[in-house]
């Protein structure tokens, strides 16, 4: 049991390294501040929301409200994806765990 608590203490946002609580369901999730910086491949800001009361995940461009046709996104040029969280809301995760040397 102590190993699990140690892991919780050591989880950090894969983008900014902010200390966060570990959620095994979302092993690569980013902090809320980084999740606010999602953009498309061209650098245009993209936001995500649940599609309706039953859930789902959809993206849109906040400046024009036009639909964004993917769940793929970038944060500081790092490939990420948005998805529906288990009990509602949206969770953004990096696609790959980054190794820093």
Higher pLDDT, 98 or 68: 68
Question: pTM of this prediction?
Answer: 0.83
Torsion of CA 56, 60, 66, 69, to 10 degrees: -70
Local confidence band at 1 (pLDDT 50, 70, 90 cut-offs): very low
Lowest pLDDT segment from 3-7, 35-39, 68-72, 81-85: 3-7
- Tell me the C-alpha distance between 85 and 35, whole Å: 13
């Amino acid at each position: 049991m102590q190993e699990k608590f140690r892991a919780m203490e050591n989880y950090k946002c894969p983008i900014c390294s902010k200390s966060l609580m570990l959620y095994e369901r979302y092993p690569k999730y980013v902090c809320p501040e980084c999740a606010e910086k999602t953009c498309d491949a061209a650098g245009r800001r993209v936001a995500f929301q649940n599609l309706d009361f039953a859930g789902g995940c959809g993206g849109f461009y906040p400046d024009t409200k036009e639909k964004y046709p993917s769940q793929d996104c970038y944060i500081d040029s790092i490939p990420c994806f948005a998805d529906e969280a288990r009990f509602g809301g949206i969770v953004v995760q990096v696609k790959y765990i980054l190794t820093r040397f």
